[in-house]
Structures are given as structure tokens and as C-alpha cells.
Amino acid sequence: MALAPHCNFEGSTLPLIVGEFKSESGALFEYAVRPDADKAIHDPEFSHIVYVGSHGIGGDCGYRAAKVLGTVAYIAVDEDDSGTVVEKWAIKSHRTYGRK
């Protein structure tokens, strides 16, 4: 389970959490709108960040750039000489959060 390390609140400068999904393995992940300032992966198709649970432990940022769709999520897991390394995750259940 990987929940965002923050909550949505008015006036926050943190990424807006927009939903959650359960992967095929049963793990639950929250995801947010990717901040414009996040330059780790330069591909504009990756409009979300998926929280992966480590939240800065061991030098990890705690999230991955992603493109979350209804039944699948494309997760940028690394970069190599040929570009972004992407994993395709099947989604078992998907819920978007309402905005206030």
C-alpha cells in the first residue's frame, strides 16, 4: 500500500491527489497531478505521479512519474541511454477523488 504522504487542502502547494488504484497484485496506490517543476522524467505524457511508499528513504523521492488511465497505468521506473524505461501495470480497481 502506498498512500500519499500529505492531504489535499485549500492553498496547498503540494501535488493535488486525484485518485487511487489497486494493481493486479492487490497493492493500493494513490496518485496525484504531476507538478510542473518535476523534471525527473521529461516526457509530458506522464501527467501523474504515483506514490510508491518509500517517501525519501534511501535517496528515493517516494513517487514515480506515470500516466494513469482507467484500466492500466504506465509507470516510469528508470532512464537509460535510449530514454525512459516504462512498466505497464494492469489496474484491478480505480477510483478518482472528487474535487471540492
The residues spanned by each domain of the chain are: 17-96
Q: What is the CA radius of gyration of the chain?
A: 13
Q: pLDDT tens for residues 35-87?
A: 876 766 667 788 999 998 765 555 567 889 899 999 999 998 887 888 788 99
Dist CA 84 CA 57 (whole Å): 23
**Model pLDDT, residue 60:** 61
| Global pTM value | 0.83
Mean pLDDT of 16-42: 86
Residue 100's pLDDT band (cuts 50, 70, 90): very low
Closest by CA position to 1, among listed 55, 39, 46: 55
**Model pLDDT, residue 31:** 95
